[in-house]
Structure 1
Amino acid sequence: MSDKRLIGVYKANRGIVGEIAYVLGHLVGARECNLCDITHSPIKKKSEFKKLEKQLLTEFGIEFRLVHMNERTDKELAASAGREPCVLLEHEDGSLSMFLDYLELKACDGRVSSFENLVRSRLDFFV
């Protein structure tokens, strides 16, 4: 089993105020989070994404953790500040590197299948 972990960083804050601000901003086109579009429907986490999380853990031993901007550790903040949304890779030694940036997430256009293809192709380099 790998000691690596993927950490998805949303471009939104957790909490009722953060969620309302994001939803209202999204509705009027003032806010977007391409990672949110990949992982969630308007109501809940997509079943396809839940399936992908399980597959990554089973096939690669890699946990996929999702955090909002106000939930990041200091180390996660240092690796992702101003680059949200993104996916970080936590290495065995605890260091973090950019795994997928916001442009790559945007190219997925909210599709879990596109995201999965991108993650799997990138994991070939890291695992």
Structure 2
Amino acid sequence: MTRIVGIYNADGSILGELNFAIGKVTGKSDCGLCDLTHGWNPFGKPSWRNACSASNIEIELVHRDELTSEQNEVAGDLPAVITLLDGAWRKLMSAEEISCLKGNGSGFLAEIERLVSEL
């Protein structure tokens, strides 16, 4: 199975989440992956949970402060989706591509599935 990692444009600590929320309200922070998976709901959007249940894709979601240096280098601007292929990380989706699918968890996972099938 291909390892797929979605990377939030936010830190994983409570302070990091609080800083992101303040930035979101003031328009200084943006994370299309956050919007897609949980928005303001700390338990995740029901639409995201339903999309994951219906999909064959397994995606690991991490915060930017949880990345290895290699993952961070490949990801570039965040959020991003990366995959481990033949021992090397590759970018699957950019921040812009993720933002285009805001609110559409099923479409996001279908796009990842399509991209992985082309590797």
* 1:1-127 alignment, distance < 5 Å: 2=1, 4-43=2-41, 44-56=43-55, 59=56, 63-81=58-76, 83-91=77-85, 93-126=86-119
Query: How many residue pairs were aligned?
Result: 118
Where in structure 1 are there 5+ consecutive unaligned residues?
none
Following superposition, the deviation at residue 80 of structure 1 comes to 1.6
- Secondary structure, aligned partner of 1:119: helix
**Post-superposition offset of 1:121:** 2.3
Runs of 4+ residues over 6 Å off in structure 1: none
- TM-score normalised according to structure 2 size: 0.86
When the two chains are superposed, the root-mean-square deviation of aligned CA atoms in Å is: 1.8
AA partner of residue 98 (structure 2):
L
TM-score (norm 1): 0.81
> What letter matches 2:16 in structure 1?
G
Identity of aligned residues (%): 26
